[in-house]
Amino acid sequence: MKSYPLCDTDELTNLLHLFPFRFVSYREIYLLALFGLAYRSFTKLEKINPMNAYLIASICFLLLALLGFIGSRMRLLNDKFYIPFCLSSFIFAGLYGIQVTRQFVIPLLGFSDKLNHVLFYDYGNGLLGLLPLALALLFIGKYLLKMDYSDQWSGTTAYTLPSLKYGLMVGLILAAIPLLIVVSTGQKFNPTVDVYRYGINCVTNLYEEIMCRGLLLACCIKYWNRLTAVVWTSVVFGLAHGLTEKSVAIALGAGLMAWAVLKAKSLWAGWTSHQLTDMIVDTFLP
């Protein structure tokens, strides 16, 4: 019987190809294992201090990126394997930085409390809270990774008919699920129209799309297969909303939004579905 030295990565790869479930690639198994470690660390520290969850997630992904970079010459790892992890780490580091620094920076601006809430706090992060992180990702893609804005948006930056079509389709599906659950329990709706909230979400949802289904999704698609890319960006999107049962549902919904983006070849499809879902749910389940 032939022996397989542990240090021979070629032989290790051959062994992995003998795995009975041949439709699962060794890279996907590796990804799932790494994510499991990061997820476990995130859940433990979320229970201790929710504020530090973003920082911990950032450090975990950064370590995974470093591991990928060090092992990039091994056949077991892709040469560009570490880039999606670096971007994921940057997103969580940015979210943590925003939460920490705004309590010091915002008072220096001298705005009224009402204006501060509109710009930085209402319904998540206001009109400007996530803007620095969204712009940073656009510039990283453009000047460091040499990706045009249209490539970062999965095809085009224009709002096209497919963007509307797939955005409406996914948005209605995602909004219908919680409404049907409420109806099945016998509860009654109490619709509340909040134009102000719709307006804030209209802007913040675009920032979130740029963060999780913009450059990150484009890079994952470039270096991985579509399924892995959709799963990974959906998990990042879910973790960005904290770690609760609601976040799991958000991550599942994010998978459909990513599908809409890829089908329409435009980030606007994700924004449309995101905005429509929020509007319907916020109206009937305020």
- DSSP 3-state of 156: strand
Q: Supply the pLDDT for residue 93.
A: 86
Token pair for 203: 């802007």
Q: Supply the pLDDT for residue 22.
A: 38
Are 198 and 279 spatial neighbours (Cβ–Cβ below 8 Å)? yes
The pLDDT confidence band at residue 231, using thresholds 50, 70 and 90, is very high
Q: Which residues of 135-167 are buried (b: 16+ CB within 10 A; e: fewer)?
A: ebbbebbeeeeebeeebbbbbbeebeebbeebb
Over residues 150-170, the mean pLDDT reads: 97
How many other C-beta atoms are found inside a 10 Å radius of the C-beta of residue 133?
21
Above pLDDT 90, what percent of the chain? Answer: 51
pLDDT at 252 over 70: yes
User: pTM for the full model?
Assistant: 0.78
The identity of residue 18, as a single letter, is L
The pLDDT confidence band at residue 9, using thresholds 50, 70 and 90, is very low
Which tens digit of pLDDT belongs to each residue from 189-214? 889 999 999 999 999 999 999 999 99
Q: Supply the pLDDT for residue 42.
A: 53
Q: Supply the pLDDT for residue 76.
A: 43
Compute the mean pLDDT over every residue in the chain, rounded to the nearest whole number: 81
The pLDDT confidence band at residue 66, using thresholds 50, 70 and 90, is low
